[in-house]
A and B are shown apart, each in its own frame.
Chain A
Amino acid sequence: MSDSLALSLSGVSKSFDKTAILKGINLDVRKGEFISLLGPSGCGKTTTLNLIAGFSKPDAGDILISGRRVNDMPSHHRHLGMVFQGHALFPHMNCFDNVAFGLRMRKAADSEIRSRVGEALELVRLSGMEKRFPRELSGGQQQRVGLARALAVKPEILLLDEPLSNLDAKLRKAMQSELRAIHTKIRTTMVYVTHDQEEALTLSNRIAVMNDGRLEQLDTPEGIYLQPRTRFVADFIGSSNFLRGTVIECRPGSVVAKLETGENAIVRTDKNLPAGSEIQLGVRSDRILVLSADAPISQGALSGKVLDRVFAGSQFQILVEVASGQRISVHLNEAPSANVVPGASVRLEIAPSNWMILQ
């Protein structure tokens, strides 16, 4: 089992000036995996990356790279690669020398350096740019040199610290698909820090959602999106609405819950929740149907009043106030019927499988 692990963090904690930044992180990364550390700023994702890189030491817990404990191993012995937020290229060296730096530090032979640098630059589609200096390159090209420089040494793990956040939206998209293609091709284990949920969803094999120094959930992008474990995850990734409820009936495969709006909802779940237990429910904004108030009544619908209707390009966004006074945001891919306008009474229908039980 541990042979297939590229990286393993167990109980890793770190404080700065008596403020706990990481509160016991456990994380196993398999060889060849692309894993994202996703969370808001200050959640500890960059600190985690810096600990893996060896820029600082954990106060408690162990970091294992390929099964070896590296807590006390300095950065330059860890055999890692890293791509930085600002490209961090060596401004006094041309592309070739930048990419060759790691190989030279490893005292590789000249012929090997030449072929490895060539390969790396070809991988990022920058062949022919060897003589250019970083300042002569565009932002996207600089970041690709940064990637080539990190990959040229064939690192055990490639660490990426928000590498695309300084690029404009279009370039970022292009670089995302390029990064995906490169990962598919070379299968290097990658640990990617980002606060951009879309980036994490599109790039990763698995996502580690972090919040306030803890790992909230570690799952595949689908798992994170469709079965968030906590309210934080449901809220941070995608747009969600939250309602409290009390279980009133337990059926095989589902429960009936009385919502704080006074209405009942059928919630699909494999969990065995006794009647009377309080639960936190959530529903994705794009998993709600809006029906006019005179549609035939079905079980598990919420009635409410439309507050706002916005056209946001790829979708329509409707804001509905329900009986408890909460505002439910609904995202529709197609235009709602013309009578869904501010002031109108509507019913919101939520399928049992679209309710999420959160912690």
Chain B
Amino acid sequence: MKISVTSIFAFIIYAIIIAPVLMVVGASFTETRFIAFPPQGFTLDWYWRALNDRALMGGLWLSVTIALTAVGISTVLGTMAAIYLARPKAFGGAVLSSFFLAPLNVPAVMTAFALLLAFTRWGLINWYGLVAAHVVLTLPYVVRSVLVSLAGLDSSIQRAAGILGASPLRVFWHVTLPLIRPGVVAGAIFSFLISFNNVPVSVFISSPGSAPLPVVLFNRMQWLAEPSVAAAATIAIVATISTMLILERRFSFYQSMFR
């Protein structure tokens, strides 16, 4: 096999991306009372600690429930929005599509600040507020990727279904949805990752004592840089990677996205 210049570049870039992750994983095995890399000795104690740490596990559970709920909502809303926006004569199409994509273009801290002001007034600094905030964050990813799928769809296929006797709802269910599924799935997966890893918005919206995992880790790192934080992070990384692998197997997700 010939090693080209581009493959060396690719290797360097992968190394830069993956190295910090490996450091976290390595640090979780250290025997020292503080995070150290390279790890000194080898122990699984920190995993035991992390699994028995109520704040960490509570944070993980909260993260999962928020991500799943927010993804469910934004996948449905985002798909509906994209289908409307893809219509050639969508009323206010340009305005609405920049509205839906706005959170992509505004710094997350700004969005978070705006949400904090509004949600404090509405008494939404709780689980529901977090879900609502994450829907705002993740919606653009769904709208985007579903719009891309719809753009590749031959509109005469939907017309064909209609003239064969399918009502608009059945055209959607039997024809449109199966054909845009790769876009919907890709949007949902992206949304999950965005929500699960989000810190800036969650920091503002969560109340002390009930914060999602990234916020808990963030706080711990500031006050108590114990290797159990690295262990919890490793658990989250492994969970994320295995989810991606399963989805890749099931939906050929990357292929469908970059086709």
CA distance A81 to B167 in the complex (A): 15
CB within 8 Å for A102 and B159 given contacts A88-B154, A91-B179, A92-B178: no
The answer to whether B163 touches A105 (Cβ under 8 A) is no
CA distance A355 to B28 in the complex (A): 98
Which residues in chain B, 143-162, are within 8 Å of chain A measured between CB atoms? 154, 156-157, 159-162
Residues of A within 8 A of B161 (CB): 90, 101
The answer to whether B159 touches A75 (Cβ under 8 A) is yes
CA distance A76 to B174 in the complex (A): 14
> What size tier do the contact residues of chain A reach?
20 to 34
A91-107 vs B: 1/0 string, CB under 8 Å?
11000000001100110
A56-85 vs B: 1/0 string, CB under 8 Å?
000000000000000000111111111011
Residues of B within 8 A of A53 (CB): 159, 163
Report A57 CB to chain B, min CB distance, Å.
Answer: 14
CB within 8 Å for A105 and B164 given contacts A75-B159, A91-B179, A92-B179: yes
The answer to whether A102 touches B156 (Cβ under 8 A) is no
The answer to whether B157 touches A90 (Cβ under 8 A) is yes
B87 at the interface (CB under 8 A from A): no
The residue of chain A having its C-beta at the shortest distance from the C-beta of B178 within the complex is A92
A-B contact count (CB 8 A): 66
B165 at the interface (CB under 8 A from A): yes
B220 at the interface (CB under 8 A from A): no
The answer to whether B154 touches A76 (Cβ under 8 A) is no
Interface size on B, residues (CB 8 A): 18
Residues of B within 8 A of A259 (CB): none
CA distance A146 to B164 in the complex (A): 11
Residues of A within 8 A of B160 (CB): 82, 84, 88-90, 146, 149
The answer to whether A149 touches B164 (Cβ under 8 A) is yes
The residue of chain B having its C-beta at the shortest distance from the C-beta of A100 within the complex is B164
B125 at the interface (CB under 8 A from A): no
A54 at the interface (CB under 8 A from B): yes
The residue of chain B having its C-beta at the shortest distance from the C-beta of A155 within the complex is B163
A311 at the interface (CB under 8 A from B): no
Report A318 CB to chain B, min CB distance, Å.
Answer: 45
The answer to whether A102 touches B165 (Cβ under 8 A) is yes
The answer to whether B154 touches A86 (Cβ under 8 A) is yes
Residues of B within 8 A of A102 (CB): 164-165
CA distance A19 to B141 in the complex (A): 38
B155-190 vs A: 1/0 string, CB under 8 Å?
011011111111110100011001100000000000
Partner of B159, one of A78, A88, A106: A88
CB within 8 Å for A75 and B170 given contacts A84-B156, A88-B157, A92-B179: no
Partner of A78, one of B163, B166, B167: B163
The answer to whether A105 touches B159 (Cβ under 8 A) is no
The answer to whether B159 touches A55 (Cβ under 8 A) is yes
CA distance A182 to B228 in the complex (A): 75
CB within 8 Å for A76 and B162 given contacts A88-B154, A88-B156, A90-B157: yes
Residues of A within 8 A of B170 (CB): 105
CA distance A101 to B173 in the complex (A): 13
CA distance A94 to B156 in the complex (A): 18
Besides A53-B159, A76-B163, A149-B160, 18 more A-B contacts (Cβ < 8 Å) are A54-B163, A55-B162, A75-B162, A76-B164, A76-B167, A77-B165, A78-B163, A80-B163, A84-B159, A88-B156, A88-B157, A91-B179, A92-B178, A92-B179, A101-B166, A101-B174, A105-B164, A153-B164
Interface residues of B (CB under 8 A from A): 154, 156-157, 159-168, 170, 174-175, 178-179
Interface residues of A (CB under 8 A from B): 53-55, 74-82, 84-86, 88-92, 101-102, 105-106, 146, 149-150, 153, 159
The 9 A-B residue pairs with the shortest CB-CB distance, nearest first, are: A102-B164, A105-B165, A88-B156, A88-B160, A75-B162, A84-B156, A82-B163, A105-B166, A92-B178
A sample of 28 cross-chain residue pairs with beta-carbon separation below 8 angstroms, ordered by A number, consists of A53-B159, A53-B163, A54-B162, A54-B163, A55-B162, A74-B162, A75-B159, A75-B162, A76-B164, A76-B168, A77-B165, A82-B159, A82-B160, A84-B156, A84-B159, A84-B160, A86-B156, A88-B154, A88-B160, A89-B157, A89-B160, A90-B160, A91-B179, A105-B165, A105-B166, A105-B170, A149-B160, A153-B165
